[in-house]
Structure 1
Amino acid sequence: MTTIRVRLTLVYSGLFLLTSVVLLVTVNLLLSHALSTRVGRLPVPPPAAEVPPGGRGGDGVRPPLPELVDDVVGYQWEVTWLAVGVLALVSLLAGWLVAGRLLRPLHRITATARRLSLSTLHERIALTGPQDELKELADTFDAMLDRLERSVDAQRRFIANASHELRTPLAVQRAAIEIGLPPDLGEIRDKLLTHNRRSERLIDALLLLAQAEHGLRERAPVALDEVTRLVLAEQAGGPVSVTARIEPCVVDGDAVLLNRLVTNLVDNAVRYNRPGGTVEVTLAGRRLTVGNTGPEVPADRLGDLFLPFRRLGTTREQGAGLGLSIVASIAAAHGGDVRARPNPGGGLTVTVTFPPA
C-alpha cells in the first residue's frame, strides 16, 4: 500500500525533475545553436601559402572550430545528465522531508483518534499553527469530541437516574405485596412477587446492557480466574454437573462487568441444559470457554443469540433474552470477541477471547 507521503514525494520530485530537465535541455540546445551560429560567422583563415612572413596561419596548432564546438556541447550534455541524477536524489530527499512535515498534523489527528475511547473523550488534538485546512480539520474534530462527550455524559447521568427511579417503585411494590396482602391470598401473592422479581431482573439487565455499551470509564487489572472461581462456587450443588479447568489470567477492565459476563455464561449454560447434563468451563490463555449439553441450536440462528430479546425455543419465564447480548456488550467494552458454535448432539459452546494485556 502506497502511503500519501510516498505519493506526495513522488509528485514533488517528479515536478521538480521535469522542470529541471526542461530547463537544462533548453539551455543546452540554445547554447549549441548559439555556438554553431557564432562560429559560422567567423572569417575563414587564409591558406598557408598566403600567410605573410611572421604571420600565423592554419599550422595545426589549434583544433578546427567545428570540432571544438562539438566537444563543448558534448561536455555540456554530460554535465547536464550528471546534474539531473544528483537533482533526482536531492528532490526525493527534499520531497520526503517536506511531505513528512506537511503531514505531521494529520499523524497527530490520527494518533488522537486511535487513542480515543469512551473513557478518554476529554482528550483533544489542540493543534497549533497557521489557520489552514489542517488546523480547520483539527478544530472540527475537537468540536465533534465536545459534542460527543456531552452526549455520553448525559446518557450516563440518565442511566444512573433511571437505575434509581426504576428500582425504587419496584422495591416499594415488593414490600407492599409481602406486607400488605393477607395470607389467604398466597397464590396471588406469590404470582405478584414472581412478576416483581422478573421486572427487577429485566431492569437490572437493561441498565447493565446500557452501561456496557457505553464503554468503560476506568480500567484496572482484574484476576479473571478468581472471578470465575467465585461464580462457579455459587453454582455448586445444582442439578447440572459443572467441571472447570482454570489457569491464571489477568484482564484490564471492570471487575463488576467481568463478573456479570462469567455469571451470564454459566447461568445460561445451566439454565438451558437437559436434566443430568454437564457444563464445562475452561479458562486458558486469554480465552474463556463455556459449553453445555443443552438442546440443539440451529447453526443459522447463532447470530440471534447475541441480539437483545431474542429467544430460541424458550419462554419469558426462562429469561428476557438479554443474557448473551450482555455478554457480547461487556466483551466488546473490554476489546474482546465472542463466538458461539453448536455442539454435536446438542448444546452450545461460547468462547470469549480477550485482547493481550
Structure 2
Amino acid sequence: MTTIRVRLTLTYSGLFLLTSVVLLVTVNLLLRRALDTRIARLSGGPVAPTAPLQGVPVDRLPPQPQLPALVDDVIGYQWDVTTVTVGVLALVSLVVGWLVAGRILRPVHRITATAQRLSLSTLHERIALAGPKDELKELADTFDAMLDRLERSVAGQRRFIANASHELRTPLAVQRAAIEIGLPEDVGEIRDTLLLHNRRAENLIDALLVLAQAEHGLDNRSPVALDQVVRLVLAERDPDGVTVTGRVEPFTVDGDPVLLNRLVTNLLDNAVRYNHPDGTVEVTLSGGVLTVRNTGPHVPQERFGDLFEPFRRLQTTRGQGAGLGLSIVASIAKAHGADVRASPNPGGGLELVVVFPRTPAPDDSSRR
C-alpha cells in the first residue's frame, strides 16, 4: 500500500518532469528550425572566397565542413545533453518531492501521533498546531475542540458513576439493615426472600459500576502480581461442592489491582456456578495466560457470541446472577490490553482464556 507521501512525491516529480521535457523538446525543435532557416539564407547568397594560408598550397587546405552536417552534429549533441539533463532532473525531482511532501504532511503526522496516544486517561492532551491558518490548522483546531467535548463528557460520566455508587448503595444498605433488625427470624421465608432480593440488587449495582469503570479505561496503572491475585481469589472462594485446583506461575501485569481481582473472581464464580455437582474447576496461570476450565453443561456453538454480552445468560435459575459476570471480564481485559476467548470442553463446560500482554517485571525473578 502506497502512502500519501509517496503519491505526492510521484505527482510532484511527474509534473516537474513533464514540464521539463516539454520545455527542452520545444527548445531543441525551435533551435533546429532557426539553424535550418539561417543555413538556407547563407546558401542562397554569395559565398566569399577563403584566403589561402601563407606557405600552404591551395590544393592541400583542409576540407571545410558542410553547414547541414554541422547543424546535425550540433542538434545531435543538444539531444544527448537533453537526455542526460532529463535523467538528472528525474532524480532531483524525486528527492525534492519527497522532502516537500514530508514537510507538508508533518502536521498530519503530528495529528495522527496525538490521536494514537489518546486514551481515557490522556484526554487532556491537545495538538495545539502552530502556523498559518490553513486547512491543516483548521483540522487540528477541530480535533482539539472535539477532544474538549469528549473530555467534558467523560468527566461528567465519571462524576455520575461516583454519585451513583453512593446514592444507590446507601438506600439498599438501609433497607437491608431494616430487614435484618425489623423483621424477626421466625417470620419464615419472607425475611430470607427480602434479603435475597436486596443482596441481588446490591450485586447488580456493584456489577454495573464495575462494568462502567472498566469500559472507561484505567486512570492509573501500577505493577500488579497477578499470581498473588489468583492465589488470593482461590483461597477466599467457597468451592460450593466443586473441586477447585490451581497451578500458578509468577507474572506481573501493569494495571489496576481491584479490577484484576474482580476479573479473576468473576471467572472463578462463573466456573463454579455453571457446573455439575461434584464437578471440577482448573485454574492455571502460565506465561501471562490465565485459563479457567470447568465441567458443566454443554454450551451450543451458536451461543458463544452471547457469553460476553451484558445481561445474557445461557441458563436462568433463581440463584444465578444478572448475566454481567463475563461481560465485566471482557471489559476489564480490554482495559488492560488483554484478549479473552472461550471454547467448549469435549465433555461439557467451558474453557475461558485471558491472554495478558507481557510487561517488564524485574521482581518476577525474586518471587521465583
Does the 8 Å contact 2:239/2:272 carry over to 1?
no
Q: Which residue of 2 aligns with 1:86?
A: 88
Deviation (angstroms), 1:91? 0.1
Question: Aligned partner of 2:41: which letter?
Answer: R
Q: How does 1:44-55 map to 2 (within 5 A)?
A: none
Q: What is the correspondence of 1:131-210 to structure 2 with a 5 Å cutoff?
A: 131-210=133-212
Matches of residues 33-44 of structure 1 in structure 2 within 5 Å?
33-43=33-43
**1:60-102 superposed Cα distances (whole Å, 9 cap, x missing partner):** 4431111111110000000001000000000000000000000
Write the deviation string for residues 128-153 of structure 1: whole angstroms up to 9, x where unpaired. Answer: 11101001001000000000000000
Equivalent residue, structure 1, for 2:244 = 242
Aligned partner of residue 318 in structure 1, secondary structure: coil
Corresponding residue for residue 15 of structure 1: 15
The residue that corresponds to 1:251 in the other structure is 253
Distance in 2 (CA, whole Å) between partners of 1:14 and 1:111 is 30
Q: Could you say which residue in structure 2 is the equivalent of 1:128?
A: 130
Q: Which of 201, 213, 216 is the aligned partner of 2:215?
A: 213
Q: For the residues of structure 2 that align with 1:8 and 1:117, how far apart are their CA atoms?
A: 32
Q: Which moved more, 1:282-291 or 1:185-194?
A: 185-194
Contact 1:45 1:57 in 2 (8 A): no
Name the counterpart of 1:307: 309
- AA aligned to 2:346 is P
SS of match in other structure, 2:284: strand
AA of the residue aligned to 1:118: L
Asked whether the 8 Å contact 1:289–1:351 carries over to 2, the reply is yes
Instruction: Flag structure 2 segments of 5+ consecutive residues without an equivalent.
Output: 360-368
Residue 66 of structure 2 aligns with which residue? Answer: 64
Cα distance in 2 for partners of 1:304, 1:242 equals: 26
How many Å separate the matches in 2 of 1:52 and 1:190? 134
Encode CA deviations 1:141-173: one digit per residue, 9 max, x unaligned: 000000000000000000000000000000000
- Residues 44 and 326 of structure 1: is their aligned pair in 2 closer, same or farther, counting only changes over 3 Å? same
Higher alpha-carbon deviation: 148-157 or 232-241: 232-241
Q: Give a deviation string over 1:281-303, Cα, whole Å, max 9, x none.
A: 11111211101001111111011
> What is the match of residue 118 of structure 1?
120
Q: CA–CA distance in 1 between the matches of 2:318 and 2:278?
A: 23
Pair 135,316 (structure 1): closer, same or farther in 2 beyond 3 Å: farther
Change (3 A) 1:53 1:207: closer
RMSD: 2.0
* 3-state SS of 2:247 partner: strand
Q: Write the distance in 2 (CA, Å) between the matches of 1:257 and 1:342.
A: 26
Between stretches 83-92 and 50-59, larger displacement belongs to 50-59
Q: C-alpha deviations, 1:23-71, integer Å up to 9, x for none?
A: 0000000001100110110046879xx9698699995443111111111
Query: Deviation of residue 335 (structure 1)?
Result: 1.4
SS at structure 2 position matched to 1:42: helix
What amino acid is aligned across from residue 181 of structure 2 in structure 1? I
Alignment match, 1:298: 300
**Hey, what's the Cα distance between the residues in 2 that align with 1:80 and 1:352?**
66
Per the alignment, residue 366 of structure 2 pairs with: none
Farther off after superposition, 126-135 or 227-236: 227-236
Q: Distance in 1 between matches of 2:27 and 2:134?
A: 39
